[in-house]
Amino acid sequence: MPLGIFILVSVIKSLIILIVLLTAVAYTVWLERKVVGHMQNRWGPTRVGPFGLLQPAADGLKFLFKEDLTPPHVYKPLFLAAPMMAVIFALTSISVIPFGNSFVFGPFSLPHFLPFHWGGLVIGPYDIPLQITDVNIGLLMILGVTSLGVYGVALAGWSSNNKYSLLGGLRASAQMVSYEIALGLSLVGVLIQSGSFSLRDIVDAQGGHFLGFIPRWNIFHGQFIGFFVYLMAAYAETNRIPFDLPEAETELVAGYHTEYSSMKFAMFFMAEYANMITVACLATLLFFGGWHGPLFGPPLMQALLPVFWFVAKVVCFLFLYIWVRGTLPRFRYDQLMDFGWKFLLPLAIANLVATAIAVAW
Amino acid sequence: MNFHLILFSAFGAVCVAGAVNLLAQRHPINSALSLITVMAALAGEYLLLGAEFVAAVQVIVYAGAIMVLFVFVIMLLNAGEEEETKGSRVAVMFGVPGMLIGGVLIAWVVLRHSGTEAVAIGALPGDPRDIAQLLFHNFLLPFEVTSVLILIAIMGAVVLASKPESQGKVD
């Protein structure tokens, strides 16, 4: 593929994925309000559009037009930079996530009236993977970028010059650093089984079936404990209930984003939901076979079904997030630390050792 | 001009600018953030050299874990701006000439001994498989010994940080 075409294809793919991701973020918020509403025996948003479907657009407009307050005693450069960092790191990690197999583009020839020597030029065939970029350290890159996401939260808490914000920021950094270890170790079992850091290779290794009908996904392939540890640690990493100590409203007003308003607050909100989506994508790719699923129907449907299966699995995980939020109360801080260090970490190490022995056998 | 070379120079410039900014800033948290920029730019350099695994580990370990603890400590202590002094005379008399001599020496060694064997951009063996082979096979013993060393250091820190029982009961 020539460099010009490569850059063009990359830009188009990045744009599409960015737009889809931001729309997905908006509708995850809608889904959460709707589902939690029904769990609490109320309706959730119903007024804007059918089933409240236009509510995210209304919320976005409201955030844009709200007054953007900057409190007087904040440390301004970091106060402004923190929400941007949060959202940038949250959006970056999606760049290595594959959504499906590749599709072949072209060949087709350009029309003859074009200037220069472009007329009649044959383009393609190009094999375009459904992913912004496939790097051989994909999983490590996601871990690296999400570990940088702590800075947005920690610096927001510090620069706000507010005790509740500072406590929220400190809690967030301590919690995220602690659970990152269990998160990383829980993934090593999968890595041992597939023998690659590339997310595409990991998904490809999960094709096929056991006994003809049980899919060969990692969760049915001895990684159930790994999945459990990953799920718990990932909930803690995204600061979601029951691990939402950094923004515990009963103790800390709103935690690290207490002083933020308008679009700056919305950026933290977007970062949280984008992180949720990344975590759900990663769970799907690593433990639930990515885009593998039954294929049937005409050729076009067969081409689109893998993406559909991938999205369906991700939506299931997002629903699980919301379900947990509607069900569980918040941990106490000492319980949170005990759970992370004394339960999840040993469990992750045990899973790693067991997987290593099983593979070496 | 090579696309790789442009990116490599850009990351190098960011790295040096971050390092200079680290020294120039008066507030500790700004210095810590500059150091993070340096780490991230270094990761970019490693990536361009072909050492993907080292680049990822650089970001995860240094920028994502160690520097978080730095920032955490600065936030906890709520360290303010540092005081401005006129600078010590010793630093001017010995530090600046020493730095110049050191720089010249390093430049001389690099120019003299690199020759034609300098690593080409993108040619470093940085595949996770190669590194695993080196780390867990060829250099297994040093690797394990280092981990024990780090464990001892952690235990030492815990012993030093925890107060003795008798002192806790005062008052």
DSSP letters spanning B70-90: HHHHHHHHT--PPPP----HH
Answer with the residue of higher pLDDT: B114 or A264. A264
Mean pLDDT across B69-79: 78
Beta bridge partner(s), residue B29: none
Mean pLDDT across B74-101: 75
Q: What is the DSSP string of A249-262?
A: HHHHTTGGGTT--H
Mean pLDDT across B51-64: 84
Q: Is residue A238 part of a domain?
A: yes
The kind and range of the H/E element at A29 are helix A3-39
User: Is there a contact between A202 and A221 (Cβ–Cβ < 8 Å)?
Assistant: no
Number of domains, chain B? 2
- Close Cβ partners of B22 (under 8 Å, ≥ 6 residues apart): B31, B34, B35, B38
- pLDDT of res. B124: 66
The reply to whether B124 touches chain A by the CB within 8 Å rule is no
- pLDDT of res. B146: 92
Q: Is residue A41 part of a domain?
A: no
Contact across the interface for B128 and A137, Cβ inside 8 Å? yes
Q: Is residue B150 part of a domain?
A: yes
Q: Is residue B141 part of a domain?
A: yes
Residues B4 and B73 in one domain: yes
Residue A179's closest chain B neighbor by CA? Answer: B65
Contact across the interface for A140 and B53, Cβ inside 8 Å? yes
- pLDDT of res. A118: 67
Nearest-by-Cβ selection for A173 from B29, B33, B68:
B68
Q: What is the DSSP string of A89-112?
A: HHHHGGGG---EEEEEE--EE--T
- Residues in chain B with CB shorter than 8 Å from the CB of A156 are none
User: Is there a contact between A81 and A151 (Cβ–Cβ < 8 Å)?
Assistant: no
Residues of chain A with pLDDT under 70: 1, 105-106, 112, 116-120, 124
Number of domains, chain A? 1
Q: Give pairs for A352-355: CB < 8 Å, separation 24+.
A: A352/A185, A352/A188, A352/A189, A352/A192, A354/A222, A354/A225, A355/A188, A355/A189, A355/A192, A355/A193, A355/A222, A355/A223, A355/A226
Angstrom distance (rounded) from CA B135 to CA B148: 15
The reply to whether B59 touches chain A by the CB within 8 Å rule is yes
Beta bridge partner(s), residue A215: A209
Q: Is residue B101 part of a domain?
A: no
Q: Is residue A28 part of a domain?
A: no
Alpha-carbon distance B148 to nearest alpha carbon in chain A (angstroms): 18
Domain with A150, as residue range(s), is 66-98+134-360
Residue B27's closest chain A neighbor by CA? Answer: A75
Q: Is residue B91 part of a domain?
A: no
The reply to whether A170 touches chain B by the CB within 8 Å rule is yes
Contact across the interface for B75 and A158, Cβ inside 8 Å? yes
Contact across the interface for A140 and B65, Cβ inside 8 Å? no
Checking if the pLDDT of B86 tops 80, the result is: no
Nearest residue to A142 (alpha-carbon basis) of A274, A313, A317, A291:
A274
Alpha-carbon distance A278 to nearest alpha carbon in chain B (angstroms): 17
Of A139-153, A264-278, B61-75, B156-170, the poorest mean pLDDT is in B156-170
Angstrom distance (rounded) from CA A170 to CA A239: 13
Cis omega (within 30 of 0) for bond into A98: no
Q: Is residue B103 part of a domain?
A: no
Domain with B26, as residue range(s), is 1-81
Q: Is residue A70 part of a domain?
A: yes
Q: Is residue B110 part of a domain?
A: no
Report residue A276 as tokens.
């949720």
pLDDT in tens, B3-57: 778 888 899 999 999 998 888 888 888 888 899 889 889 988 888 887 788 888 8
Nearest-by-Cβ selection for B56 from A144, A155, A157:
A144
The reply to whether B38 touches chain A by the CB within 8 Å rule is no
- Residues in chain A with CB shorter than 8 Å from the CB of B43 are 144
- pLDDT of res. B152: 94
- pLDDT of res. B122: 59
Q: Which of residues 179-198 of A touch B (CB under 8 A)?
A: 180, 184, 197
Last residue of a domain, one of B81, B116, B139: B81
Q: Is residue A165 part of a domain?
A: yes
Report residue A162 as tokens.
């507010």
- pLDDT of res. B148: 94
Residues B147 and B71 in one domain: no
The reply to whether B158 touches chain A by the CB within 8 Å rule is no
Tokens 């390093």, residue?
Answer: B106
The reply to whether B55 touches chain A by the CB within 8 Å rule is yes
Checking if the pLDDT of B168 tops 60, the result is: no
Contact across the interface for B64 and A144, Cβ inside 8 Å? yes
The kind and range of the H/E element at A9 are helix A3-39
Mean pLDDT across B118-122: 60
Residue A207 gets the label, from left (phi > 0), alpha (psi -120 to 50) or beta, of beta
- pLDDT of res. B24: 84
Indicate the pTM of the whole model: 0.82
Last residue of a domain, one of B81, B114, B142: B81
Answer with the residue of higher pLDDT: B84 or B27. B27
Report residue B66 as tokens.
């160690």
Last residue of a domain, one of B17, B46, B81: B81
Contact across the interface for B65 and A177, Cβ inside 8 Å? yes
3-state secondary structure of A113: coil
Q: Is residue B170 part of a domain?
A: no
Contact across the interface for B55 and A78, Cβ inside 8 Å? no
Q: Is residue A119 part of a domain?
A: no
The reply to whether A141 touches chain B by the CB within 8 Å rule is yes
Contact across the interface for A148 and B59, Cβ inside 8 Å? yes
- Residues in chain B with CB shorter than 8 Å from the CB of A173 are 68, 71-72, 75
The kind and range of the H/E element at A325 are helix A299-327
How many of the other CB atoms lie within 10 Å of CB of B10? Answer: 13
Nearest residue to A5 (alpha-carbon basis) of A105, A138, A114:
A105
Nearest-by-Cβ selection for B68 from A140, A144, A177:
A177
